[in-house]
Amino acid sequence: MKDRTVLLARYGLLAAAAVFIAVGLLRREHLGVMEKAVRICLECIGIG
Amino acid sequence: MSGMHRNRIKGKGISLQRVVQLASAALLNGYAVGFQRGKIFTGGSKALCVPVLNCYSCPGALGACPIGSLQAALGGKGHRFPFYVFGMLMLFGILLGRGVCGLLCPFGLVQDLLHKIPVPKLKVPKRIDRPARYLKYAVFLVLVILLPAFAVSGSGISSPYFCKYLCPAGTLEGGIPLLLSNSGLRQAAGLLFQWKVLVLVVILAASAVIHRPFCKYLCPLGAFYAAFNRFSFFQMRLDREKCVGCKKCEASCPMNVEVTREINGTECIRCGKCRSVCPTQAISSGFSWDPGKTESIPREEKPEL
């Protein structure tokens, strides 16, 4: 793979990740993550 | 210096990879009293996704599992695109690629340790191994994305299918410790728990004879990070002019990567085994800002011998 392609993909994906996180924070999605993570997920542990 | 022990902490007989893995497992599951009380941590750090498969229902977990969070967001009411979780996953992926699997994942550490058990090892034939590697992409697409997004119950929400039916980390880190310390949960455990324990036992038993079977064939997080392996800032580097073609690196690679052909291929977990066995020190690893320095070191930059 050409260096220029890797360079573009590398920094492009880094920028996209930052934008996604910022949009998610603006939509307060992190609170949804926390709400789920602070309760025991019965399905995750195999209770149902 | 012989390449054989370059990856070891001087005088300790423990590899740098193992030190990082142990530190990561302890840091990500640092809420020790949770194991004693049979309760999980409820502090603010649970809003942060961790880079690895680490169940947020583990009594010690200080952060949120990204795969569990992804399914919860896709399967929750509204079914909105989870920008935050995808952004976190992309960030970890572009920084480390599958270095997350080799260096940070506690379930990877469990598999590594089980593979140390002195029992005969199984080398999966290529005709089975190669196609089976694609299973993890199917697990990611079907169990983590499609089913949670579209197989919705009457209440408008859907199950976290991967966590519910397949995830062995949830059973090991969450289910078993919680059931041991919480009698109410113990009474509620039924057929589903038995299924999950069976999955866990099969994967753990397989780990003794096959290196990291869950990472190779089933882990959806590994599948996601694999897409970033060629672009990530953390890379393996092969100096082709130092390489003598002995293939010791390929013989030692636990993930069966063709190191001399594609050192940063999708299956490389950056564990550093290839680096430690290279007799000419042709392999190195680290963060690289310039992709031109990824695959090989140009002649003019090499020190005079």
Give yes or no: residues B217 and B246 share one domain.
Answer: no
pLDDT at residue B47, as a whole number: 96
Asked if A41 and B159 come within 8 Å (Cβ–Cβ), the reply is no
Which residues 160-189 of chain B have a CB within 8 Å of chain A? Answer: 160, 163-164, 167, 170-171, 174-175, 178-179, 185, 188-189
Q: Considering only A4-8, B12-16, B182-186, which range has the smallest mean pLDDT?
A: B12-16
B300 within domain boundaries:
no
- Is pLDDT of B303 > 80? no
pLDDT at residue B12, as a whole number: 60
Interface of A with B (CB under 8 A): 1, 3, 6-7, 9-10, 13-14, 16-25, 27, 29-34, 36-48
Interface confidence (ipTM) of the complex: 0.94
Give yes or no: residues B70 and B104 share one domain.
Answer: yes
Q: What angle do CA B96, B100, B104 make, to 5 degrees?
A: 130
B173 within domain boundaries:
yes
pLDDT at residue B154, as a whole number: 73
- Is pLDDT of B74 > 60? yes
pLDDT band, very low/low/confident/very high, at B82 (cuts 50, 70, 90): very high
Domain count across chain B: 2
3-state SS, chain B, equals: CCHHHCCECCCCCCEHHHHHHHHHHHHHCCCCHHHHHCCCCCCHHHHCECCCCCCCCCCCCCCECHHHHHHHHHHCCCCCCCHHHHHHHHHHHHHHCCHHHHHHCHHHHHHHHHCCCCCCCCCCCHHHHHHHCCHHHHHHHHHHHHHHHHCCCCCCCCCCHHHHHCCHHHHHHHHHHHHHHCHHHHHHCCHHHHHHHHHHHHHHHHHHHCCCHHHHHCCHHHHHHHCCCCCCCEEEEECCCCCCCCCHHHHHCCCCCCCCCCCCCCCCCCCCHHHHHCCCCCEEEEECCCHHHCCCCCHHHCCCC
Q: Which residues from B are below 8 Å from A45, CB to CB?
A: 55, 57, 170-171, 174-175, 178-179, 185, 193, 196
**Token pair 């059931």 in the structure block, residue:** B179
pLDDT at residue B292, as a whole number: 61
Give yes or no: residues B211 and B251 share one domain.
Answer: no
Give yes or no: residues B164 and B182 share one domain.
Answer: yes
- Is pLDDT of B241 > 70? yes
Give yes or no: residues B269 and B213 share one domain.
Answer: no
Which residues 226-255 of chain B have a CB within 8 Å of chain A? Answer: 228, 230-233
Give yes or no: residues B252 and B221 share one domain.
Answer: no
B106 within domain boundaries:
yes
Tell me the pLDDT tens digit for each residue of A12-45. 999 999 999 999 999 999 999 999 999 998 888 8
Give yes or no: residues B213 and B249 share one domain.
Answer: no
Please tell me the distance from the alpha carbon of residue B89 to that of residue A13, in angstroms, as a whole number. 11
Contact B209, B102 (CB under 8 A): no
For residue A9, give how far its alpha carbon lies from the nearest alpha carbon of chain B (Å). Answer: 6
Give yes or no: residues B78 and B127 share one domain.
Answer: yes
Q: Which domain holds residue A16?
A: 3-45
Asked if A6 and B231 come within 8 Å (Cβ–Cβ), the reply is yes
Q: Which residues from A are below 8 Å from B196, CB to CB?
A: 45-46
Please tell me the distance from the alpha carbon of residue B42 to that of residue B44, in angstroms, as a whole number. 7
For residue B122, give how far its alpha carbon lies from the nearest alpha carbon of chain A (Å). Answer: 30
B297 within domain boundaries:
no
Tell me the pLDDT tens digit for each residue of B284-294. 999 987 766 55
pLDDT at residue B70, as a whole number: 95
Give yes or no: residues B178 and B256 share one domain.
Answer: no
Tell me the pLDDT tens digit for each residue of B181-211. 888 888 888 899 999 999 999 999 999 999 9
Please tell me the distance from the alpha carbon of residue B124 to that of residue B254, in angstroms, as a whole number. 12
Give yes or no: residues B216 and B243 share one domain.
Answer: no
B184 within domain boundaries:
yes
Dihedral sign for Cα atoms in the order B194, B199, B200, B206 = positive
pLDDT band, very low/low/confident/very high, at B19 (cuts 50, 70, 90): very high
Pick the closest to residue B163 from B200, B211, B108, B212 (CA basis).
B200
Find the mean pLDDT for residues B75-84.
84
B27 within domain boundaries:
yes
* Amino acid (one-letter) located at A25: L
Asked if A27 and B57 come within 8 Å (Cβ–Cβ), the reply is no
Average pLDDT of chain B to the nearest whole number:
89
- Cα B87 to Cα A19, B170, B280, distances in angstroms: 7, 23, 39
Find the mean pLDDT for residues B44-64.
95
Assign residue B252 the CATH number of its domain.
3.30.70.20
Which residues 17-76 of chain B have a CB within 8 Å of chain A? Answer: 40-42, 44, 46-49, 55-57, 61, 63-65, 68-69, 72-73, 76
Domain count across chain A: 1
Give yes or no: residues B20 and B112 share one domain.
Answer: yes
Asked if A44 and B69 come within 8 Å (Cβ–Cβ), the reply is no
Find the mean pLDDT for residues B212-218.
97
B170 within domain boundaries:
yes
Q: Which domain holds residue B250?
A: 236-288
Give yes or no: residues B113 and B204 share one domain.
Answer: yes
- Is pLDDT of B1 > 70? no
The per-residue DSSP string of A1-48 comes to --HHHHHHHHHHHHHHHHHHHHHHHHTTHHHHHHHHHTS--HHHHT--
pLDDT band, very low/low/confident/very high, at B79 (cuts 50, 70, 90): low
B246 within domain boundaries:
yes
CA nearest to B229 within chain A: A10
